[in-house]
Structure 1
Amino acid sequence: MKPYYLISILIIGAALAPFLVGFERRRPAARDIVLLAVMVALAVASRAAFAAVPHFKPMAAVVMITGMALGPRQGFLAGALAALASGFLFGQGPWTPFQMLAFGSAGLVFGLVGPRLSVPLSGWARLGLAGGGFLFVVLVLGPILDTSSVFLMLASLTPASVLAIYGAGLPVNVIHGVATALTLLLAANPLLGQLARVRAKYGLGE
């Protein structure tokens, strides 16, 4: 493994550690863990369900909804764990930490947005959320995943070769972004409503 790739994985590990340690120190109740596990399983299932459609992955949207409903910390964990768990279906490798960081970031960022929105979302709010999900995937999540390809595929890093990798990844990220936007548009209100009721009944979340 290239030294700079190993260094990048160590940096990502350092970024993941505070969320994992913080969750453990909170001594979460069984019901917190069960709800998180259910959302992780739903995220993995959403990716597996569309495995036959190239690059069309609703998983990021499920992670975003989890963050909005349960908070940024839970959202980050849901994204990181969903990426790790889905890797057992689609393949694990040195790219896995990048996937964990990318999808974890989606849960974190949208977890920070969630408290500003009221459920059920209005039509304009749903459109804004879908647009935000699309842009996040194209501008943030996708490029994080492409960075893994940069390190894995290039023997030496040059501006031209790096730009070529990111350019080749753009159509993939657009398809991924469209999948995320459509899922948010169709599933955000039902899932957020169900999660809000569970939170209110059992006092879950951040």
Structure 2
Amino acid sequence: MRGKVDGKIMLMLGVLVLFFLSWLLFNRNQYQAVSLGLATAACLPFYYRYEKKQLNIKELVLIAVLTTTAVSGRVVFYLIPAVTPMTALIILTGICMGAEVGFLVGSLSAVTSNILFGQGPWTPFQMFSWGVIGLLAGLPFVRHQLQKHYWLLSAYGIFAGLFFSFFMDVWTVFSLDHAFSWPRYAALLVTAAPFTLTYCAANVFFSCLLLRTFQSRLQRILIKYNIRAEMERKK
């Protein structure tokens, strides 16, 4: 009990420090540093909460396998611009495993795949955006609807593509101007429109194509190694 209280106090203090640093840096026009810090800090509560759980080796291995699968999807299709099954696999992970695992696999896939594609200040933004995509797909009501209706799954794939592209363009504006500019942001959205539409279409295609296969294979693993029961027992 004391550990939980201490953890919450640490998070609260961290937020206060972050706000103070943000105020200080904004006054010095360091918008890029502030945005980077906020994106990083947004990921920390999820990692902290999951770190405090009593995980067994089977659950950790499963998360590692799901992350590797998502990263492999990005690697295999890297020669085709804006076409990747990685986002679809993150969505399916959220649907099948829940919000927390969806966020973890999404954010870990970003930082892991960037070992090959290049790490940089944009990595926390990718971690946060892909993590949120997996998290939202894993919310109880959302995941139930997505696995029942292909048209909703398609709509979510489009939303995921738009959210990721629009959110990453915010980082692009900061990286170019070191401050946010609506004209620059609008110009980036227009320029990136063909790639965004292709990305959305790829999300829809791979999500609908892989849903049933992904569900059946993952369900078999969960039952065979008794992972689902152990995860439910620890909630």
Alignment equivalent of 1:82, drawn from 99, 104, 109: 109
Alignment equivalent of 1:114, drawn from 133, 143, 147: 143
Higher mean Cα deviation, 42-51 or 193-202? Answer: 193-202
Using the alignment, how far apart are the partners of 1:61 and 1:203 within structure 2? 23
Q: Which amino acid aligns with 1:6?
A: A
Give the corresponding residue for 1:17.
44
Runs of 4+ more than 6 Å apart: none
Give the drift of 1:108.
Answer: 0.3
Q: Which amino acid aligns with 1:60?
A: T
Q: Which amino acid aligns with 1:29?
A: N
Q: Contact 1:102–1:142 (CA<8 Å) still a contact in 2?
A: no
Unmatched 5+ stretches in structure 2 = 1-28
Q: Which amino acid aligns with 1:135?
A: F
Identity %: 31
Give the drift of 1:185.
Answer: 1.2
Give the corresponding residue for 1:33.
60
Aligned residue pairs, count: 200
Please give the secondary structure, in 2, of the residue aligned with 1:26.
coil
The question of 1:154 aligning with 2:177 is answered yes
The question of 1:171 aligning with 2:198 is answered no
Matches within 5 A, 1:120-199: 121=148, 125-138=149-162, 140-199=163-222
Using the alignment, how far apart are the partners of 2:109 and 2:136 within structure 1? 16
Q: 1:200 to 1:8 in 2, by over 3 A?
A: same
Using the alignment, how far apart are the partners of 2:54 and 2:117 within structure 1? 31
Using the alignment, how far apart are the partners of 1:144 and 1:156 within structure 2? 15
Using the alignment, how far apart are the partners of 2:158 and 2:180 within structure 1? 29
